[in-house]
Structure 1
Amino acid sequence: MFVLTSKTGERHYTRTILLCAGRGMTQIQKLDIEGANRYELTNLHYTVTDLSRFKDKRVLISGGGDSAIDWANEMVKWARQVIVVHRRHEFTAHELPVAQMKASAKVMTPYSINCLYGVDNHIDSVALKHSETGVIEQIEVDEVLVNHGFDRDFGDLLKWGLDKEDYGVSVDPRMRTSIPGIFGAGDFITYGSKVRLIAGAFNDAVLAVNSAKLYLDPIAPDMAGVSSHNARFFEKNKAIMQE
């Protein structure tokens, strides 16, 4: 028996739990450098609200995904210079935008931001570290844009002791987690043939509910029925059709 306790103190007793936490609470992945937050109100950006702010400036963009590359391609229309740094040689963004970015911006790979230098909470230059050699290169900049994706926060769910992988909690083909009685569905879980589409999440949920039924009633049929095939609804369905 599981006891679920809410923040208000309510307690719920159950033999099965179905976890459908999606991708969790998403938060912007900020620059993990000591003191970086003091520049957030000046020229360290995680989002862009006004492209004109970057007009005729030297802009450094850190990231290798679609957001970073798309902003780089927009920035070149405004900025004096756009420098894109990425910790790997290969970018994860789509090929065409990457090709456009390489043709119009300065690309530095594999580099990552190592340190920020500034006066009065304003970044003047950035130290970049080569990911393979460790060599540090310092360049002057006017604006810094960081697009490192998002962190996922599942609160205390991951403290339950569930087996997990990089992309979610591990389940078997019947959506069973490593703790008997706990099942999962949707983007919260992962398995070999997982499809991260809403249609796939619906299928996960059906399998999970069927598995929960079998967990509670081991002699129940492996293949669950549907309401339209249930004898209880035969007369009701017949009456509806006659109407």
Structure 2
Amino acid sequence: MGEQLELYDVTIIGGGPAGLYTAFYSGMRELKTKLIEAQDQLGGRMLLYPEKIVWDVGGVTPIRAEKLLEQIIQQGMTFDPTIVMNEQIVGLDKREDGTFLLTAASGAKHHTKAVIMACGYGIRKLAKLEIEGADRYEVTNLYYTVQDLGSFRGKRVLISGGGDSAVDWANELVHVASSVTVVHRRDSFGGLERNVTAMKHSADVRTPYTVKALHSADGKNISQVSIQHVETGEESMVEVDAVIVSHGMRSDFGPIRNWGFDMGEWKANVSPKMETNIPGVFGAGDFVGHESKVGLIAGAFTDAVLALNSAKVYMDPEASPYAYVSSHNDRFKDKNKELEKLQKV
């Protein structure tokens, strides 16, 4: 390999909730851990909806996504894993000794005994509004994510999209905006049923419609939006102060598709123990599909535990198949003492 590379026990590809919890759990199991993230921030898809209120993580009361992510990152750093940012892994090679050599687009190399794929749907890019000239309004009142609910206070907001993010944003914005109009090309919506029902009761929902054109009175801000009925072609005009486009992500696995995984369009097939078809490579989170898959953040945490435990046994068949719970795990003794001291101060 030329220059001697530092050998890690586990290398995690992806820094979203699944990857971060894997890093934490890997530390619990006393493994030398590296996490590699292709973007310049940790958090994965959670970075897209910082204002969203998350209700469905066990033991956590309703919490803003940005705060939950802050805690997930803090937890992931508990045992000081090596973190590599802005590094897209493009090559996976298994060596004669059973270890793996990962190659980045930059040419950098990473040496590891086991790999855990937690890269979601690959490299993410927001799906933009496919209307000529729409990009000029991105500096004024065309948005692809909601960073601050307060900036929409008292405004007439149009949301284009029908996924869970569009539904969640609509439900949040009805409390601050003067009006919320949701335009979706289908009658059915993504997201939890109760959230969809709440949106239909509080927002002006137009289906099946698409955004046809954007109009500006001052040449800088969108003031009106033409929407068109998908079936009849009938058009109508909506007065707006802000437009939010929630058409999901365009994701690309890139060279990962050439690594030999058994995978469909968006998921790699794994065993109940999160094993891919490549021995020594495991998966967690949105990257994987299996019979008992739970498409929640909580489900990503479970995937992470199973993947890491499988990696531990892969490297050491005599190892325990799981870690001791934190209340009985020696790794937390000193940390517990530190917390007790802080609480007494």
What TM-score, normalized by structure 1, do the two folds share?
0.68
Amino acid at match of 1:138: S
What whole-Å deviation, never above 9, does each CA across 1:176-195 have from its counterpart, x for those lacking one? 545x4462221222222334
Partner of residue 5 from structure 1, selected from 98, 103, 107: 103
- Which residue is 2:4 aligned to? none
Label 1:166 to 1:155 Cα distance change in 2 as closer, same or farther (>3 A).
closer
Partner of residue 226 from structure 2, selected from 111, 127, 139: 127
- Which residue is 2:318 aligned to? 225
Instruction: Determine whether 1:59 maps to 2:152.
Output: no
Instruction: Determine whether 1:103 maps to 2:201.
Output: yes
- Which residue is 1:186 aligned to? 284
- Which residue is 1:19 aligned to? 116
Label 1:61 to 1:198 Cα distance change in 2 as closer, same or farther (>3 A).
same
What whole-Å deviation, never above 9, does each CA across 1:71-129 have from its counterpart, x for those lacking one? 33343444443211122212223334433332332111122223333362422332334
Distance, in Å, in 2 between the alignment partners of 1:157 and 1:20 is 10
Label 1:190 to 1:106 Cα distance change in 2 as closer, same or farther (>3 A).
same
Amino acid at match of 1:200: D
- Which residue is 2:308 aligned to? 205
- Which residue is 1:144 aligned to? 243
Shift of 1:39: 0.9
Distance, in Å, in 2 between the alignment partners of 1:52 and 1:208 is 46
Amino acid at match of 2:213: C
Distance, in Å, in 2 between the alignment partners of 1:182 and 1:115 is 51
Distance, in Å, in 1 between the alignment partners of 2:288 and 2:198 is 36
Amino acid at match of 1:88: R
Contact 1:52 1:78 in 2 (8 A): no
Partner of residue 259 from structure 2, selected from 160, 166, 169: 160
Amino acid at match of 1:120: G
- Structure with max Cα Rg: 1
Contact 1:185 1:208 in 2 (8 A): no
Amino acid at match of 1:199: T
Distance, in Å, in 1 between the alignment partners of 2:158 and 2:263 is 36
Contact 1:76 1:104 in 2 (8 A): yes
Percent pairwise identity: 39
Q: How many residues align?
A: 214
Distance, in Å, in 1 between the alignment partners of 2:111 and 2:202 is 60
Distance, in Å, in 1 between the alignment partners of 2:200 and 2:158 is 14
Amino acid at match of 1:207: S
Q: Secondary structure at the match of 2:139?
A: coil
Q: Secondary structure at the match of 2:222?
A: strand
- Which residue is 2:148 aligned to? 49
Contact 2:274 2:303 in 1 (8 A): no
Q: Secondary structure at the match of 1:140?
A: strand
Note the residue ranges of structure 1 that are not aligned, 5 or more in a row.
Answer: 214-219, 229-243
Note the residue ranges of structure 2 that are not aligned, 5 or more in a row.
Answer: 1-92, 95-100, 322-345
Label 1:6 to 1:73 Cα distance change in 2 as closer, same or farther (>3 A).
closer
Amino acid at match of 2:118: A
Shift of 1:198: 1.0
Amino acid at match of 1:171: V
Shift of 1:136: 4.5
Q: Secondary structure at the match of 2:281?
A: strand
- Which residue is 2:179 aligned to? 81
More deviation, 137-146/120-129: 120-129
